């Protein structure tokens, strides 16, 4: 019986956050705490020929300066690149810095300065004297066009570099209409409010890390592997994380460097990246070009899709955000080809940034679909319905749940799509050109590979504690898990306390790929179901219980009272049972083992995005006036938190389409706008009226509660809907994002 799941329960950690009681990784007070500051390379490529730390070492308060000359032991074999969903070590890249004098990318960490205050450490860092021998670098696609290679596999080896089905050439030949274009996306950086940070403390051989991470277990596994330390000697605590958007999904080198620094000075060390370092040290959404060819019959049916991506990656890893997965499965099409091409560049390995790859891929695909709709003289929704994939075109498997047609219909109704005059530049308000556009939304249900565990304990006073290792990085997962626990135990949410963010608690996977809440819900559900079952069994076995001998299948629990279904007068509370049996508490660990991937179903989340823009003809400024998004993400655990997640994603679509770009100064080999002042993101004044609705779809395949996740789907397609609206308003089609005022005037 569900009384809590789905309700818009307020955040259980809200008051701790607004009062400042919630502690983040760089706010842990420890006796003897000292401060570490990282120094990054000023050049993108070359060698350190000379590094003089003597002046820094003599500065007041300085305890140590670590460089490649004295770093201390790092494991010979660094862990392989593996996205944190895999359950193993999840390094951001396979390269660990400060082991020799070679510079592979700008900002590469070359020294750690430790002092008794942050200011003294920062000052000493300015005294470290470094001389470089710079070699030619490649930091942009344009610089690397002669260095292109076809990726064999990407994404830590998990995804093939090339996917084909049917005959794409033949399919293009059968087409009545062709749309081909090259789409360009600027590099983007995640920029959470809390910059990445680690506090490290050794107690003998035991290392404790307070780390801002999307996966405490991922940090534990990665740092243990990076340093060559046994897993049981590393504990990671990450109760609160101040946002991340993928920057804390993979584990970079700073947690291990903090640990090495702490061991070196024999004191606990706090290491916090500054804002500029967030642009160099924790990955980013890579610059990319996508070539897309769509062929279609005159009735709109797709005959071929060819989708190629070109992007820079590091010297160490074949990384590309999975921009091409959407075109393989979103629409029914027999002939398909996708190819990832990479450029060896002087960059840190690019990484996760919210909907990594999907959002860029869908910008290209959904812009091309809009172009195709115009070529065919078809309504964009009609074109998408004609090509609706009733089964997964890639595997041929049925969807575990879908709801996309309902999303189109509901979105069109809410937005007021019917009767839209499709002609560009047809609608004006004074100086403003008004346009509307739409796009599909698509995000895969990421497979989880490892069992998800949780512990549930009920005390005789009727209160429960539920524990699991996952961190709360602002999504509201702690609140949602409180609701899952309350419903599973048959108690009110107010009687549940959720403890999380500690590898000393039962293991969970990292919260990435929109899979965190879904995965954790399965572990928590398993634990509370086991605990409830244990209590009911004890009552049934107890001759003094009114439930003695009752079939457990006939027992309901409501507000902590076990009772025979339909006969509430026969029953007793958990507390009565426990006190009579001298039990102060009852505790169970639950574990959910995910089904093996490819079990006969394809799983993804779908939605429909709509946007209206007003473009000032003289100024070239674009205002997004309203947005509508309808999504089918399976079971919603907390309506309020889900709404926030979806709205945050949609508003990010404004950033992706119109604002966000990190500019590489290819001469310096450095980002030209590595600050929050120069890297533009939408602010409240940019935020229009956002209308969000969900379509209920039941999914009995993905996990016990049928949760598909809301973390990223809100962003996917939002930028394309805006770009399509800009075309409708102005008659000008842009194939690159962000679309800026400069482009329009
Ligand atoms: Mo999310 S960008 O998969 O951490």
Query: Ligand 1 test: best mutation among 354, 361, 445, 448, most atoms within 8 Å of CB?
Result: 354
* Ligand 1 centroid to residue 511 C-alpha, Å: 8
Q: Is 511 in the pocket of ligand 1 (CB under 6 A)?
A: no
Residue 53 alpha carbon to ligand 1 centre in Å: 38
Reply yes or no on whether the pLDDT at 54 is more than 90: yes
Q: Choose the final residue of a domain: 259, 281, 303.
A: 281
Asked if residue 569 and residue 670 are part of one domain, the reply reads no
Flag whether 727 is in a domain: yes
> Range of 587's domain?
450-592
User: Is the shortest distance between the CB of 353 and ligand 1 below 6 Å?
Assistant: yes
- Please check whether residue 605 lies inside any domain of the structure: yes
Average pLDDT over residues 414-422: 97
Question: If you average pLDDT over residues 386-405, what whole number do you get?
Answer: 97
Tell me, using a 6 A CB cutoff, whether residue 283 lines ligand 1. Answer: no
Cis preceding linkage at 738, omega within 30: yes
Q: Are residues 69 and 206 in the same domain?
A: yes
DSSP designation for 232: G
Q: Is the CB of 352 under 6 A from ligand 1?
A: yes
> Judging by beta carbons within 10 Å of its beta carbon (0-12, 13-18, 19+), is residue 54 exposed, middle or buried?
exposed
Query: In degrees, to the nearest 5, what angle opens at C-alpha 545 toward C-alphas 539 and 549?
Result: 65
Which pLDDT tens digit goes with each residue over 690-714?
A: 999 999 999 999 999 999 999 999 9
Atom of ligand 1 nearest to the CA of 246: 4
Residue 140's pLDDT is: 98
Of all protein residues, the one whose alpha carbon is nearest to atom 4 of ligand 1 is 246
Q: Where residue 606 sits, what CATH number does that domain have?
A: 3.30.365.10
The predicted model gives 203-232 an average pLDDT of 98
Ligand 1 site, residue 354, Cβ cutoff 6 A: yes
Decide: residue 408, CB within 10 A, 0-12 exposed, 13-18 middle, 19+ buried: buried
Helix 639-654 × helix 718-730 angle, to 10°: 40
CA distances from 688 to 57, 608, 613, 628 (A): 53, 18, 10, 10
Residue 8 included in any domain: no
Residue nearest to atom 3 of ligand 1 (CA): 513
Q: Give distance in angstroms: CA of 480 to centre of ligand 1.
A: 19
Predicted confidence band of residue 3 (pLDDT cuts 50, 70, 90): confident
113 sits in which H/E element: strand 109-115
Span 152-211, pLDDT tens digits: 999 888 899 999 999 999 999 999 999 999 999 999 999 999 999 999 999 999 999 999
**Residue 375 counted as domain residue:** no
Which of the listed residues 592, 611, 638 is the one where a domain comes to its end? 592
Per residue in 484-497, pLDDT (tens digit) is 999 999 999 999 99
Atom of ligand 1 nearest to the CA of 245: 2
Q: Which atom of ligand 1 is nearest to the CA of 354?
A: 2
Q: What percent of the chain has pLDDT over 90?
A: 96
Asked if residue 481 and residue 610 are part of one domain, the reply reads: no
Q: CA 631, CA 634: separation in Å to the nearest integer?
A: 9
Q: Which of 191, 246, 443 to probe ligand 1 with, by most ligand atoms within 8 A of CB?
A: 246
Same domain, 125 and 224: yes
Does residue 319 carry a pLDDT above 80? Answer: yes
Same domain, 640 and 720: yes
Residue 716 in contact with ligand 1 by CB distance below 6 A: no
714 and 678 together in one domain: yes
* Mean pLDDT of the region 251-269: 98
The verdict on 515 and 644 lying in the same domain is no
The answer to whether residue 352 sits within a structural domain is: no
Q: How far apart are CA 453 and CA 507, in angstroms?
A: 6
Task: Yes or no: say if 638 and 11 are a contact pair by the CB < 8 Å rule.
Answer: no
The reply to whether 344 falls in a domain is no
Same-domain pairing of 638 and 705? yes
Band of residue 1 on the pLDDT scale cut at 50, 70, 90: low
The answer as to whether 360 is a domain residue is no
Same domain, 439 and 560: no
Total domains present in the chain: 3
CA distance 128 to 122: 10
Ligand 1 and 513: CB distance under 6 A? yes
Residues 545 and 661 in one domain: no
Ligand 1 neighbour 249 (Cβ under 6 A): yes
* Nearest-atom index, ligand 1, CA of 353: 2
Mean pLDDT over the full length of the chain: 97
Check: CB of residue 233 under 8 Å from CB of residue 205: yes
Q: Is 169 a catalytic residue?
A: no
Strands 34-40, 269-272: pairing is parallel
Given a cut of 80, whether residue 619 has pLDDT beyond it is yes
List, for residues 541-595, the tens digit of each pLDDT value. 999 999 999 999 999 999 999 999 999 999 999 999 999 999 999 999 999 999 8
Same domain, 611 and 470: no
| 287, 360, 612, 712: the active-site residue | 712
565 and 626 inside one domain? no
Pick the last residue of a domain from 592, 610, 639.
Answer: 592
Q: Is 292 part of a structural domain of the chain?
A: no
Give the residue-averaged pLDDT of 207-218: 98
């Amino acid at each position: 019986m569900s009384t809590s799941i789905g309700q818009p329960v307020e955040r259980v950690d809200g008051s701790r956050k607004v009062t400042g009681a919630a502690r983040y990784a760089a706010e842990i007070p420890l006796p003897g705490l000292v401060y570490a500051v990282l120094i990054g390379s000023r050049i993108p490529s070359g060698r350190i020929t000379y590094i003089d730390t003597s002046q820094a070492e003599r500065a007041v308060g300085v305890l140590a300066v670590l460089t490649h000359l004295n770093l201390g032991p790092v494991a010979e074999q660094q862990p392989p690149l593996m996205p944190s969903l895999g359950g193993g070590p999840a390094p951001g890249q396979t390269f660990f810095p400060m082991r020799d004098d070679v510079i592979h990318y700008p900002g590469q960490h070359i020294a750690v300065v430790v002092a008794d205050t942050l200011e003294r450490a920062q000052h000493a860092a300015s005294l470290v004297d470094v001389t470089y021998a710079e070699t030619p670098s490649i930091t942009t696609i344009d610089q690397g066009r002669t260095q292109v290679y076809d990726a064999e596999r990407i994404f830590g080896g998990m995804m093939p570099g090339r996917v084909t089905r049917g005959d794409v050439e033949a399919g293009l030949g059968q087409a009545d209409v062709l749309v081909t274009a090259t789409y360009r996306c600027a590099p983007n950086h995640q920029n959470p409010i809390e910059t990445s940070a680690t506090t490290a403390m050794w107690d003998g051989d035991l290392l404790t890390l307070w780390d801002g991470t999307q996966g405490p277990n991922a940090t534990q596994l990665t740092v243990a592997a990076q340093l060559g330390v046994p897993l049981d000697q590393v504990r990671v605590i990450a109760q609160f994380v101040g946002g991340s958007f993928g920057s804390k999904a993979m584990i970079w080198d700073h947690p291990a460097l903090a640990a090495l620094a702490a061991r070196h000075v024999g004191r606990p060390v706090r290491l916090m990246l500054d804002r500029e370092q967030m642009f160099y040290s924790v990955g980013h959404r890579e610059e990319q070009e996508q070539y897309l060819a769509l062929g279609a019959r005159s009735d709109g049916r797709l005959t071929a899709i060819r989708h190629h991506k070109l992007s820079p990656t590091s010297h160490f890893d074949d990384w590309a955000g999975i921009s091409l997965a959407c075109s393989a499965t979103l629409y029914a099409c027999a002939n398909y080809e996708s190819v990832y091409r990479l450029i060896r560049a002087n960059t840190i390995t690019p990484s996760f940034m919210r909907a990594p790859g999907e959002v860029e891929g869908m910008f290209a695909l959904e812009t091309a679909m809009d172009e195709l709709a115009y070529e065919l003289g078809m309504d964009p929704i009609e074109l998408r319905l004609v090509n609706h994939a009733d089964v997964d075109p890639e595997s041929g498997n049925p969807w575990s749940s879908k709801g996309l047609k309902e999303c189109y219909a509901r979105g069109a109704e809410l937005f007021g799509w019917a009767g839209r005059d499709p002609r560009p530049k047809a609608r004006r308000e004074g100086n403003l050109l008004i346009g509307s556009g739409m796009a599909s939304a698509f995000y895969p249900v990421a497979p989880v590979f490892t069992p998800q565990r949780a512990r549930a304990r009920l005390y005789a006073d009727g209160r429960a504690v539920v524990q699991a290792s996952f961190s709360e990085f602002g999504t509201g997962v702690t609140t949602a898990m409180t609701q899952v626990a309350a419903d599973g135990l048959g108690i009110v949410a107010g009687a549940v306390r959720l403890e999380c963010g500690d590898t000393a608690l039962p293991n969970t996977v990292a919260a990435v790929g929109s899979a965190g809440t879904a995965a954790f819900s399965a572990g928590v559900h398993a634990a509370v179901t086991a605990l409830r079952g244990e209590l009911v069994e004890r009552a049934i076995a107890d001759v003094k219980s009114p439930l003695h001998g009752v079939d457990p299948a006939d027992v309901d629990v409501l507000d902590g009272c076990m009772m025979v279904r339909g006969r509430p007068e026969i029953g007793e509370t958990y507390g009565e049972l426990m006190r009579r049996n001298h039990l102060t508490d009852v505790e169970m660990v639950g574990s959910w083992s995910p089904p093996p991937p490819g079990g006969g179903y394809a799983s993804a989340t779908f939605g429909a995005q709509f946007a209206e823009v007003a473009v000032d003809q003289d100024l070239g400024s674009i205002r997004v006036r309203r947005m509508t998004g309808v999504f089918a993400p399976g079971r919603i655990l907390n309506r309020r938190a889900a709404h926030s997640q979806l709205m945050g994603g949609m508003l990010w679509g404004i950033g992706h389409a119109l604002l966000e770009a990190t500019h590489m100064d290819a001469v310096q080999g450095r980002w030209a706008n590595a600050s929050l002042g120069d890297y533009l993101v939408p602010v409240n004044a940019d935020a229009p009226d956002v209308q969000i609705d969900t379509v209920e779809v039941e999914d009995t395949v993905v996990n016990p509660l049928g949760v598909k996740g809301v973390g990223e789907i809100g962003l996917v397609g939002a930028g394309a809907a805006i770009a399509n609206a800009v075309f409708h308003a102005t008659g000008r089609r842009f194939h690159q994002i962000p679309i800026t005022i400069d482009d329009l005037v």
